[in-house]
Copies of this chain bind each other. A is one copy, B any other.
Amino acid sequence: MQLGLVGLGKMGGNMRERIRRAGHTVVGYDRNPELSDAGSLSELVDKLQAPRTVWVMVPAGAPTQSVIDELAELLAPGDTVVDGGNSRWTEDERHAAELLAQGIGFVDAGVSGGVWGLENGYALMVGGDAEHIARVRPIFDALKPEGPYGYVHAGKVGAGHFSKMVHNGIEYAMMQAYAEGWELLEKVDSVTDVREVFRSWREGTVIRSWLLDLAVGALDQDEHLDKVRGFAQDSGEGRWTVEAAIDHAVPLPAITASLFARFASRQNESPQMKMIAQLRNQFGGHAVENTDGVGDHAD
A229 to B291, CA, bound (A): 6
Distance between A57 CB and nearest chain B CB, rounded to angstroms: 15
Q: How far is the CB of A277 from chain B (nearest CB, A)?
A: 5
A195 to B23, CA, bound (A): 32
Quick one: which of B10, B112, B159, B277 contacts A231, CB cutoff 8 A?
B277
A91 to B257, CA, bound (A): 29
Q: Within the oligomer, what is the number of copies of this chain?
A: 4
Are the C-beta atoms of B243 and A251 separated by less than 8 Å? Answer: no
Chain B residue numbers with a CB within 8 Å of A144 are: 204
Contact (Cβ within 8 A) A184 B114: no
Residue of B nearest to A271 (CB): B183
Decide: A192 near B154, CB < 8 A? Known: A178-B275, A265-B270, A275-B215: yes
On whether the beta carbons of B225 and A191 are closer than 8 Å, the reply is no
For A222, list chain B residues within 8 Å (CB): 278
A-B pairs with beta carbons under 8 Å apart, 21 shown: A89-B190, A114-B283, A115-B299, A122-B204, A125-B197, A145-B204, A150-B202, A152-B196, A154-B192, A159-B191, A163-B197, A171-B206, A179-B273, A183-B275, A184-B241, A186-B271, A209-B209, A214-B283, A229-B269, A231-B289, A249-B266
Assuming A178-B279, A254-B261, what are 10 further A-B pairs, CB within 8 angstroms? A10-B299, A113-B204, A114-B285, A145-B203, A152-B197, A155-B193, A166-B181, A211-B279, A253-B257, A264-B264
